[in-house]
Structure 1
Amino acid sequence: MKLVTSWGRLRAEPHRVVFLTDPDCVRNLLSRGPYPGLAHGMARSYGDVCLNPGGTLWVTTGLDHFIAFDDNTGRLVCEAGVLLRDIQRLAIPRGWMLPVTPGTQLVTVGGAIANDVHGKNHHVRGSFGDHVLSLTLIRTNGEIIQCGPNERPDWFSATVGGLGLTGVITQAEIQLRRVDGPWLDTETIPYANLDEFFWLADDSEADWEHTVSWIDCITGGGGRGLFMRGNPTNVEDRQAPQRRKLTMPMVPPVSMVNRLSLRLFNMAYYHFKKWQPKRTIMHYEPFFYPLDNLFEWNRMYGPKGFYQYQCVIPREVGQDAVQALLKEIARSGDGSFLAVLKTFGNRLPLGMLSFPQRGVTLALDFPNHGDRTHKLFERLDAIVREAKGRLYPAKDARMPRALFEAGYPSLAEFMKYRDPGISSSLSRRLMGS
Structure 2
Amino acid sequence: MPVPFAAPEAVPVTGWGRTAPTSALVLRPGSYEEAVRALAECGGRGAIARGLGRAYGDAAQNAGGAVLDMTGLDRIHEIDAVGGLVTCDAGVSLHRLMQVMLPLGWFVPVSPGTRYVTVGGAIGADIHGKNHHMSGSFSRHVRAIELLTGDGETRVATPEDEPDLFWATAGGMGLTGVILAATLQMLPVETSLMTVDTERATDLDDLMARLAADDHRYRYSVAWIDLLARGARTGRAVLTRGDHAPLEALPPRLRADPLAFRPASRLPAAPRFVPEGLLGRRSVGLFNEFWYRKAPRDQRGRLQKLAAFFHPLDGLPEWNRIYGRGGFVQYQFVVGYGQEEALRRIVRRIGSRRCPSFLAVLKRFGEADPGWLSFPMPGWTLALDLPATLPGLAAFLDELDDEVAAAGGRVYLAKDARMRPDVLARMYPRLDDFRELRSRYDPRRVITSDLARRLAV
Q: Does TM, normalized by the shorter one, top 0.5?
A: yes
Matches within 5 A, 1:269-348: 269-274=291-296, 277-317=299-339, 319-345=340-366, 347-348=367-368
Correspondent of 1:31 among 36, 40, 46: 40
In the alignment, which of 71, 74, 78 is matched to residue 64 of structure 1?
A: 74
Q: 1: CA distance between counterparts of 2:92 and 2:270?
A: 25
**Is 1:176 matched with 2:196?**
no
The partner residue of 2:146 within 116, 136, 145 is: 136
Q: How far apart are the structure 2 equivalents of 1:370 and 1:425? A: 23
Q: What CA distance in whole angstroms lies between the structure 2 residues aligned with 1:316 and 1:409?
A: 19
Query: For the residues of structure 1 that align with 2:142 and 2:185, how far apart are their CA atoms?
Result: 6
Unaligned runs of 5+ in 2: 1-9
CA distance, structure 2, for counterparts of residue 402 and residue 242 of structure 1:
43
Partner of residue 405, structure 1: 425
Map 1:76-95; keep pairs closer than 5 Å: 76-95=86-105
- Quickly say closer, same or farther: Cα 1:111–1:242, change in 2 above 3 A: closer
Q: Contact 2:51/2:121 (CA < 8 Å) preserved in 1?
A: yes
8 Å contact kept, 1:83–1:109 = yes
Alignment-mate amino acid for residue 185 of structure 1: T
Asked if 1:158 corresponds to 2:178, the answer is no
1:126 aligns with 2:148: no
Shift of 1:404: 0.8
1:253-281 CA distance string (max 9 Å, x none): 31321111111000000001135845411
Within 5 Å, give how 1:38-53 maps onto structure 2.
Answer: 38-53=48-63
Tell me the residue number matched to 1:10: 19
Query: Does residue 243 of structure 1 match 2:255?
Result: no
Q: In 2, distance between residues paired with 1:197 and 1:153?
A: 38
Measure, in 1, the Cα distance between the counterparts of 2:454 and 2:414.
Answer: 14
2:452 to 424, 427, 430: 427
Distance in 1 between the 2:362 and 2:58 partners?
23
User: How many angstroms apart in 2 are the aligned matches of 1:340 and 1:18?
Assistant: 35
Cα separation, 2, equivalents of 1:306 and 1:68: 39
Alignment-derived partner of residue 357 in structure 1: 377
Q: Which amino acid aligns with 2:421?
A: R
Q: Residue 141 of structure 1: CA displacement?
A: 2.2
| Distance across 2 between alignment mates of 1:48 and 1:407 | 19
TM-score normalised by length of structure 2: 0.91
AA aligned to 1:341 is L
Sort the Cα spacing of 1:234 and 1:278 in 2 relative to 1 into closer, same or farther, 3 A.
closer
3-state DSSP class of the match of 1:202? helix
Higher mean Cα deviation, 406-415 or 268-277? 268-277
Look up the SS of the partner of 1:348 in the other structure: coil
Helix, strand or coil for the counterpart of 1:219?
coil
Q: Distance in 2 between matches of 1:391 and 1:157?
A: 19
Read off the aligned partner of 2:327 and give its amino acid letter. G
User: Cα–Cα, structure 1 residues 195 and 275, in superposed 2: closer, same or farther, change >3 Å?
Assistant: closer
Q: Relative to 1, partners in 2 of residues 1:229 and 1:14: Cα closer, same or farther, differing over 3 Å?
A: same
**Shift of residue 401, structure 1, vs aligned partner:** 1.3
> How big is each residue's C-alpha offset from its partner over 1:392-419, in whole Å with a ceiling of 9 and x where there is no partner?
0000011121211111000000112223
Per-residue CA deviation, residues 410-432 of structure 1 (Å, 9 max, x unaligned), is 00001122231011111111126
Q: How far apart are 1:286 and its partner, in Å?
A: 0.8
Change (3 A) 1:219 1:426: same
CA contact (8 A) 1:255 1:300 kept: no
3-state SS, counterpart of residue 213 of structure 1: strand
In structure 1, the partner of 2:398 is 378
1:220 is aligned to: 230
Cα distance, 1:154–1:416 mapped onto 2, change above 3 Å: same
Paired positions, count = 430
Aligned residue type for 1:83 = S
Match of 2:199? Answer: 189
SS in 2 for 1:50: coil
Contact 1:312 1:359 in 2 (8 A): yes
